[in-house]
Structure 1
């Protein structure tokens, strides 16, 4: 039998082929391992996201219960209430959660630009003009807003009805307003679904002066200084601090609040979720959740 000879050139090809097969096998194995690793990471993220959402829901229910119990006490709402203190981040198993309630009846409610019939409220428009002036902004922006609201009017039972703004950021769509202007007035305003009274224990001097025709911002600041030592138990206690000729619209003022923002944060693993809910405490014993939005 004749021996088989492998020439150097053939041996080189065989070696290269073997190396290519080995590289291919290694590449496929590496790809499979990478896919498996990514699948495990995605599974972990989904697990953390589910836990974060569950924690957010728990914080929301806790906040609702807190506001319900507070309403049962029947006391004025003020800055020293337990719910007014933010909940710091609390460590729990595998994560952490936090919460904060923001009172909204102390702000200028843009829904007060309309009356109960869905028409422009002249007193509300005048108050918004004064608020803009108090904040160092052009008062004519209120007229632009009024025109925008009128352009949104809808027919209801053969009558024209104006719908309130859904969100403060809608102001960015109105002529004359800008991101900087909206950012400047945002701490003083809110867009709620219905007109509201003004809680004098949370209202700023600029907003209070806006609703009292003959009241200056400095006079409003002086009247509100009493809150530093004790909150107002009733509206009369504030009125007594104001100049006698202020023409105070007492029906517009109150010491209780119905609307709140609940900001809820949850952190699990690499997942951090932050949601904001609008709560209405005026319609039922348990505050109603009007909407929930993810803000981070």
Structure 2
């Protein structure tokens, strides 16, 4: 083999080796960049969660201070009028505190002994009718809550759920979250959207705070029946700015027989909803806060919290 040809082959081998080395180096650089990106994303997610926890601690402190200085909870208070956006270096936080005491608690449909709470059932059925939902669907909700396997007329137990396209079992326990109502036979997403401003699911028996309840609930409690959107709005607008000073002041407006559901002027249960955006990372946090005493003077406890982190 001639010397020039040997040199050409050698040069080709060197070029191939260089290409291989360059390819490996590029691959290693890409892997390194991805690792750094993942590390950066993890760091931003962790920082966003910490900011969410800080917001939770601040919300608890705000509600504790409110409970020590006032005896009512109403939409004009500091906890209900937070700024929509709180910017910080590199990102922003959006949050709100939702009073759950002004909503109907699904778990009050049954008494502690498992019997039906007739006043709660009457109010819930009235609410369903006012939202153009068949009141008889409440039977399936009762079956979901009770411990037996015998369906009520119009209700559903395991045997009925087993026939669904996606079989499931009844809860046979209290609701953990309002969204669980979507698993009950006869309830769909559209119905849940209509019910959401008026209904909740809480682990303790709760009266309805007439100072934060929707106009629709106020109307049902005062005997307006199905009423109308206009009547509901008028009831909300007629509510005193600092809230009703007594239950009697609210009930003095009663125009007809209505469910004798327990009422209150303040609330024990709140939900903190927080969204943190930081360097392309978004974290959603929800926390259920419960005041340990009915007077509301003690700092709320965190019953549960959930995180939903999204990276670019």
* TM bracket, shorter-chain basis: 0.7 to 0.9
* Deviation digits for residues 139-186 of structure 1 (CA, Å, limit 9, x no counterpart): 111011112222568xxxxxxxx6311122222222211122222212
Q: TM-score, normalised by structure 1?
A: 0.86
Higher gyration radius (CA)? 1
Could you tell me which residue of structure 2 aligns to residue 177 of structure 1?
A: 187
- Is this contact kept in 1: 2:219–2:235, CA < 8 A? no
The alignment's TM-score, normalised by the length of structure 2, stands at: 0.82
Query: Mind listing any 5+ residue stretches in structure 1 that lack a counterpart?
Result: 154-161
Residue 122 of structure 1, CA deviation: 2.1
Measured on the aligned residues, the alpha-carbon RMSD in Å equals: 2.4
2:85 is the alignment partner of 1:89:
yes
In structure 2, do the counterparts of structure 1 residues 152 and 100 end up closer, same or farther at CA, with 3 Å as the change threshold? farther
Residue in 2 aligned with 1:272?
A: 282
Residue 14, structure 1, aligned to residue 10, structure 2 = yes
Contact 2:102 2:212 in 1 (8 A): yes
Is it true that 1:246 corresponds to 2:243 in the alignment?
no
Residue 291 of structure 2 aligns with which residue? 281
What is the CA deviation profile of residues 69-99 of structure 1, one whole-angstrom value per residue up to 9, with x for unaligned ones? 0000133111100110133322223333232
Per the TM alignment, residue 247 of structure 1 is displaced from its structure 2 partner at its CA by: 4.8
* Residue 122 (str. 1) matches residue 122 (str. 2): no
Match of 1:145 in 2: 141
Match of 1:75 among 71, 77, 92: 71
Equivalent in the alignment of 2:160: none
Provide the residue aligned with 1:31 in structure 2. Answer: 27
Contact kept in structure 1, 2:130 and 2:225, CA below 8 Å:
no
Q: 1:103, CA displacement in angstroms? A: 0.5
Match of 1:232 in 2: 244
Decide whether the 8 Å contact of 1:166 with 1:191 is kept in 2: yes
Deviation at 1:223, TM superposition (A): 4.3
Secondary structure of the residue aligned to 2:276 is strand
Q: Report the number of matched residues.
A: 282
Residue range with higher mean Cα deviation, 127-136 or 80-89: 80-89
Q: What's the secondary structure of 2:17's corresponding residue?
A: helix
The CA distance in 2 between the partners of 1:7 and 1:212, in whole Å, is: 105
Aligned with residue 42 of structure 1, among 18, 30, 38: 38
| Residues in 2 aligned to 1:221 and 1:5: alpha-carbon distance in whole angstroms | 99
Question: In structure 1, how many angstroms separate the alpha carbons of the residues matched to 2:134 and 2:283?
Answer: 38
Deviation of 1:20 (Å): 1.3
1:258 aligns with 2:271: no
Q: 1:236-274: per-residue Cα shift (whole Å, max 9, x none)?
A: 22112222x43562x611110111001122222121111
Q: What is the DSSP-based 3-state SS (H/G/I as helix, E as strand, rest coil) of the residue aligned with 2:73? A: coil
| C-alpha deviation, 1:198, in angstroms | 0.6
**CA separation of 1:44 and 1:247: change in aligned 2, threshold 3 A:** closer
CA–CA separation in structure 1 for the residues paired with 2:13 and 2:148: 74
Q: 5+ unaligned residues in a row in structure 2: which ranges?
A: 150-171
Cα distance in structure 2, aligned partners of 1:253 and 1:220: 18
8 Å Cα contact 2:176-2:202 kept in structure 1:
yes
Residue aligning to 2:206: 196
Q: Distance in 2 between matches of 1:116 and 1:37?
A: 58
